[in-house]
Amino acid sequence: MQTHEIIKRFREHFERAGHTVVPSASLLLDDPNLLFVNAGMVPFKPYFLGEAPAPYERATSVQKCVRTGDIEEVGKTTRHLTFFQMAGNFSFGDYFKEDAIRLAWELITKSQADGGYGFDPERLWATVYHDDDEAFDLWQKVAGLPPERIQRRGIEDNYWSMGVPGPCGPCSEIYYDRGPEYGREGGPVVDEDRYLEIWNLVFMQNERGPGGAKKDYPILGELPAKNIDTGMGVERVAFLLQGVDNVYETDLVRAVITKAEELSGRKYGADKVDDVRFRVIADHARSSVLLVGDGVTPGNEARGYVLRRLLRRIVRSSRLLGVTEPVLPVFAEVVRDTMGQAYPELVENFVRIQQIMRAEEDTFLQTLAAGSRIFENAADAIKADGRATLPGDKAFQLHDTYGFPIDLTLEMASEAGLTVDEDGFRKLMAEQRARAKADAAGKKTGHGDQTVYRELLDLGATEFVGYTDLAAEATVRGIVREGARVKTAREGDIVEVVLDRTPLYAESGGQESDAGVIVSDGAELEVVDVQKVARKLWVHQVRVVSGEIAEGQHVEARVDQEWRTGARQGHSGTHVVHAALRQVLGPSALQSGSYNKPGYLRLDFAWTGGLSEETRSEIEEVSNLAVRKDLPVRVVYTDMNGAQELGAVALFGETYDESVRVVEIGGPWSRELCGGTHVEHSSQIGPVTLLGESSVGSGVRRIEAYVGIEAFRFLAQERALVQNVAGLLKVPNAEVPGRVEALVERLRVAEKELERLRGAQLLSSAGQLADSALDVRGVALVALALPEGTSGADLRTLGTEVRNRLGSKAGVVALFAPDGAKASFVVATTAAARDLGLAAGKLVPSFAPALGGRGGGKPDLAQGGGTDPSGIPAAITALRTELDRAVESR
């Protein structure tokens, strides 16, 4: 049974059982605890946590998930995947244990002819929490499982919580016995390779307190409404139903391996080392395409860093398989063809996806070349010192800075006849992981004690009237100070105020929150910020300017009109620039992030190269033509299907409700899903002035612009600047560029001549310096400090020339140059000195510590630097001492 058919049957089974079919959410959700959605229940967390009422009593979904806890282990086993699909059914206070067990058992055991999966009931086992007698009895009653095939397990295996205070409960897992050829008898408690878990049923019935993530926390009592959260591993069920040995041989995963076989000429299954590389490619290609499809771009932080690692491991594994041509665009096509049926956005956005992956591969190949040079230099220095081990810190630098995983460094070291200090590397990796873990733990605040907001949400959602009104009568529902509700707030207090209705826009969709005030009977509150909690509750952070405010008080909330005017211009301007981008560059130039505030906008978009001046001018002109045309702005409320039929653009990383708001500017010219505030006609945006365009990551560019009065002010400043320059040059404004260009050229010529004269002056001193050499046991030593600011290139040039002037003598030249708080140096040796064992690279360690630095190089020439220029005299003394010792010891 093909994977798409497995998914189809799952959805149909639960839809027939009254479940609302919920499409897979984006892999990116606004959850401070998660980089990516890592379980099927994550999109439903607000309902389980009570942060928002569930819009349905029962639901089903097939959720795309990514887990990246230990990327480097992927491929070493056949069970570990970073990307997988989790099919689940959920009940929000509706059915509980008996129906959850019944619905799962029916689908698993029903014949394939009747729409089920057709698993043999005699090969199925279940586990329950150790004291969950109810579940134990239900497996016998509902499924007819004999007691010997129902096993009890402890809290670490069969009890679930989110790791923070909130809902929790026992769980029950369904296992399939693959047969004696896969392991020992005795059920899941004995062997989880033979007995493979395929489904987990969580009975969310209790509330836990603070404590450990897995155990050592108190159970505070039962939940008022009991919930069901289940998850069936699609890939695991697929490999069982397809009669293959593991998930990598299933239809949707094996296709990538097949393509890798074609490209490499090698066969999967022929070599254990190669098999790991094939599996890395197959898994990471799927994860990467899905992540890029949901708006992640390669970078050096958080989600972007994870994606970059995945992509680079694909390229690296391909190179180790002998593939030299670009691979990421090719593997992306395979993933599109296999996964596009389930996730049509991969097909719709494929041009952008492929562009980003191609750009990252190009970037990495350059990085690979740079890292290889670093490795080769390190290897040469190690061999020159007579050592045979690459230090752990150097291996870690290659990994952390250049993206070289340890296996690539090991292979390169082996080819160079070296070993690697793996223990040192592992220690540094462990320290980095510990820092990352501590940082992640420090950021886990998103699901702390939300009780105060749940109480307020129980009173009803905040009614937002800001699309039509700039002022609104309201009632204070709650006042929060430092996470706790208080009855009143007085002058000088900074608190959070929740109203039953508000005209003030809460920060979202890239738009800053509104500025404004809340007033009542002598009290005035300045609104500092407005945020949404659970997407239903508007929380106003305020400073009490005067008077006193109390719960239940009637107030008036007012938006700062000037602020709103500028904010509308900024947000509508963002839509106009986005539409202009797509018109000029094509539909693949999709917005991947934005920020706007009064008079200013910033827009990130998918593109692989910088824009020419002509292209930027065209985008600016298209934007301003749209403003001049006074295009109508229309808002349409519909559902996601309706929005897709309209061709509305949904933005990456955004989460939408069932009812969505589509903002049109000029009809189909600009049509986006958006909850922001907007102008009524495009002419109200005012002029659009692009400030610049830059790169913010592989395949992502950023445009910044002013709109409205800010654009006027910017242009006025630019005009004044040109006039000032024209006055200084005593030419008309129009002649300024030509005159400046001529001055720059004259300056370039003058600097070049100065550089030539300075070089000639340096070289002219080479003979004098050679003649001034000191005799150290028969070795001519030239060691001195040059004037501050002498460049490294000049040091090398002069050092080489002085060495040449020493001719056939045994000579060592050491030149130093201070430069502010730093110092640089070069050491050069003659052939006769090298015959005495005086290698430049080996002399550096004798004096570099005096400078607080280090360096290295080859026997004839070495260089380096330090952070203590005052140590130059001590360094020269140390070098003389080392020469004296080295010559005497021969």
pLDDT at 499 over 60: yes
The highest-confidence range among 314-318, 373-377, 440-444, 553-557, by mean pLDDT, is 553-557
Beta pairing partners, 693: 703
pLDDT at 102 over 90: yes
b/e 762-772 (16+ beta carbons within 10 angstroms → b)? beeebeebbee
Average pLDDT of the chain, as a whole number: 90
The pLDDT confidence band at residue 214, using thresholds 50, 70 and 90, is confident
DSSP state of 685: G
Type of residue at 578:
H
Nearest of 232, 185, 188, 228 to residue 44 by alpha carbon:
228
Q: Give the residue ranges of DSSP H helices in 781-871.
A: 792-805, 831-835, 840-847
Beta pairing partners, 229: 90, 202
Computed from CA positions of residues 476, 481, 487, 493, in that sequence, does the dihedral angle turn out positive or negative? negative
Q: 227 by DSSP, 3-state: which?
A: strand
pLDDT at 450 over 90: no
Contacts for 793 with CB less than 8 Å, ≥ 6 apart: none
Structure tokens at 97: 């244990």
- pLDDT of 329: 95
Nearest of 475, 476, 478 to residue 454 by alpha carbon:
478
Q: For the chain, what is the radius of gyration of the CA atoms? A: 34
**What does the alpha-carbon distance between residue 740 and residue 718 come to, in Å, rounded to a whole number?**
16
Pairing of strands 861-866, 822-829: antiparallel
Average pLDDT on 603-631 reads: 93
pLDDT at 282 over 80: yes
- pLDDT of 441: 43
b/e 486-512 (16+ beta carbons within 10 angstroms → b)? eeebeeebebbbbbbbbbbbbebbbbb
Question: Are 861 and 795 spatial neighbours (Cβ–Cβ below 8 Å)?
Answer: no
**What does the alpha-carbon distance between residue 756 and residue 743 come to, in Å, rounded to a whole number?**
20
The pLDDT confidence band at residue 753, using thresholds 50, 70 and 90, is confident
575 is in an annotated binding site: yes
Over pLDDT 90: what percentage of the chain?
A: 64
Question: Are 514 and 527 spatial neighbours (Cβ–Cβ below 8 Å)?
Answer: yes
Average pLDDT on 824-833 reads: 94
Q: 489 by DSSP, 3-state: which?
A: strand
**What does the alpha-carbon distance between residue 785 and residue 764 come to, in Å, rounded to a whole number?**
17
- pLDDT of 438: 52
Residue 247 CA, distance from chain mean position: 26
- State how far the alpha carbon of 583 is from the alpha carbons of 609, 618, 683, in Å: 17, 10, 19
Contacts for 875 with CB less than 8 Å, ≥ 6 apart: 816, 825, 847, 848, 850, 851
DSSP state of 658: S
Contacts for 276 with CB less than 8 Å, ≥ 6 apart: 75, 76
Over pLDDT 70: what percentage of the chain?
A: 95
How large is the angle between the packed helices 302-320 and 272-293, nearest 10 degrees? 140
pLDDT in tens, 357-402: 998 898 888 777 777 778 888 888 888 888 889 998 888 888 776 6
The pLDDT confidence band at residue 654, using thresholds 50, 70 and 90, is low
**What does the alpha-carbon distance between residue 778 and residue 775 come to, in Å, rounded to a whole number?**
6
Computed from CA positions of residues 534, 537, 540, 546, in that sequence, does the dihedral angle turn out positive or negative? negative
DSSP state of 52: S
- pLDDT of 696: 81
**Alpha carbon distance, N-terminus to C-terminus of the chain:** 78
Domains and CATH numbers, the chain: 3-244 (3.30.930.10), 250-371 (no CATH), 471-559 (2.40.30.130), 564-716 (3.30.980.10), 768-888 (3.10.310.40)
Type of residue at 601:
L
Nearest of 465, 476, 635 to residue 559 by alpha carbon:
465
Mean pLDDT lowest for which of 515-519, 587-591, 594-598?
587-591
**What does the alpha-carbon distance between residue 187 and residue 195 come to, in Å, rounded to a whole number?**
6
**What does the alpha-carbon distance between residue 839 and residue 856 come to, in Å, rounded to a whole number?**
10
DSSP state of 728: H
More confident position, 51 or 112 = 112
447 is in an annotated binding site: no
More confident position, 792 or 38 = 38
Q: 704 by DSSP, 3-state: which?
A: strand
540 is in an annotated binding site: no
Q: 226 by DSSP, 3-state: which?
A: strand
- pLDDT of 18: 96
pLDDT in tens, 1-32: 999 999 999 999 999 999 999 999 999 876 66
- State how far the alpha carbon of 325 is from the alpha carbons of 267, 315, 372, 412, in Å: 18, 10, 18, 20
Question: Are 825 and 865 spatial neighbours (Cβ–Cβ below 8 Å)?
Answer: yes
pLDDT at 786 over 60: yes
Type of residue at 871:
G
Average pLDDT on 624-628 reads: 97
Computed from CA positions of residues 344, 347, 348, 353, in that sequence, does the dihedral angle turn out positive or negative? positive
Q: Which residue bears the tokens 């003389």?
A: 880
Pairing of strands 501-502, 463-464: parallel
